[in-house]
Amino acid sequence: MLAAHAVPITHSRGRRFPEPPHPYRNDFQRDRDRVIHARAFRRLEAKTQVFTRRYSDHFRNRLTHTLEVSQVSRTIAGALALNVDLVEALALVHDIGHPPFGHAGEKALDAAMREHGLIFDHNLHALRIVEDFEQRYAAFRGLNLTFEVREGIIKHSHDYDEKTHPELAEYLLDQRPPLEAQLIDLTDEIAYNTADLDDGYEAHLLTLEQIREGIPAFGHFYREVEQIYPTAPEKLKFNESLKRVLNRFVSDLITNTQSRVEQAKIQTLDDVRHHPERLAAFSPEVESERKQSKTFLYENLYYSPSLAEEKEDAERIVKELFTFWMTNPNTLPHNYQEKAKEDSLPRVICDYIAGMTDNFIFEQYEKHCGSMR
């Protein structure tokens, strides 16, 4: 049973190109499956989340991170009686527009585009992927996803203005997204705030003492775990503590979102869409803990001197390849040369680079720009 303010599949605004119903899957389930079978989704396996494989192949990549977001999202959606199929599709597609090299790659690609009066936005790029780049069907370009999934790609983490982005006008930019989409940005944070602590600790870039001191909630749980499992190895105590942090985030998001829905007297999906602010949120106390964790990770992990060289290499590779193809567009693959006849060259080069895996962009750099060092 869905909550009255959830998105029922029977009220979906449908697909851009109408298709007959499937005999045993609803449209949101089909969207989920189309994302999973997309080439862009498979490429996430070879795109950096935080750590490259120089450290270990145990650490998260974009694909494993996406799967963790999906798991957390399904759990929360089920507890809130939201449409789990829609939430799962949105969770699986939420990072599909990210370029290689994680945030360093995104930063460099956006900087390159701004030199030409353009921008790179991974949400907008994700929409281009599912609407145009993926070619699996004879009847239409793209994946022909439902309106609700396409809307969620755009609006799950950011509010766009119709004046700035008139091309997005169909996505109800003056309204809030459904709760199913609102959850995704928060579950994304839950997933990476906890997973990056795990990977940072495993990589020996974060010490237990640093984490206990820098994240009081973790420190509290660690003291609790020590009392319950005094003889357990340090790593298992760490795991137990981190599990409790994750559970605290998840439980709070469920209870606080439900409380906000009740306080706002939300009855329908239209009530959600026309509420003055997003309803999915942590409580003030846990929101403070979330910010604390995020600040700790930026100060002690993401900007760690140990990762600085890799980030510098990533930004240099993207910048130099972009410049190379701007000067030598005839060396682009034939299909991208054809696209450049219809779209601007910077956008075409951006699309090409954004779709690359870490390994492939290294190969292209060595082919066109020489060795790394």
Read off the CATH number of the domain in which 241 is found. 1.10.3210.10
In a domain? residue 301? yes
Give residue 60's pLDDT. 86
In a domain? residue 328? no
In a domain? residue 356? no
The SS3 of residue 191 is: helix
In a domain? residue 81? yes
Each residue's pLDDT tens digit, 307-326 = 888 889 999 999 999 999 99
Q: What is the amino acid identity at position 79?
A: A
Angstrom CA distances, 349 to 65, 311, 324, stand at 27, 21, 10
Q: Are the CB atoms for 82 and 2 separated by under 8 Å? A: yes
Give residue 356's pLDDT. 96
Q: Are the CB atoms for 318 and 112 separated by under 8 Å? A: yes
In a domain? residue 87? yes
Q: Are the CB atoms for 155 and 168 separated by under 8 Å? A: no
pLDDT interval class at 50 (50, 70, 90): confident
State the residue range of the domain holding 79: 19-307
In a domain? residue 4? no
Alpha-carbon distance of 346 to 238, in angstroms, equals: 46
Q: Are the CB atoms for 237 and 226 separated by under 8 Å? A: yes
CB atoms within 10 A of CB 35: 26
Each residue's pLDDT tens digit, 30-47 = 999 999 999 999 999 999
pTM: 0.94
Backbone angles phi, psi at 135, to 5 degrees: -125, 95
Give the 3-state secondary structure of 249-312.
HHHHHHHHHHHHHHHCCCCCHHHHHCCCCCCCCCCHHHHHHHHHHHHHHHHHHHCCHHHHHHHH
Backbone angles phi, psi at 15, to 5 degrees: -100, 160
The single residue listed with the structure tokens 């930063």 is: 107
CB atoms within 10 A of CB 69: 26
Model confidence at 55: pLDDT above 80: no
When the pLDDT of each residue in the chain is averaged and rounded to a whole number, the result is 94
Q: What is the amino acid identity at position 169?
A: A
pLDDT interval class at 80 (50, 70, 90): very high
Q: Are the CB atoms for 186 and 281 separated by under 8 Å? A: yes
Total tally of structural domains belonging to the chain = 1
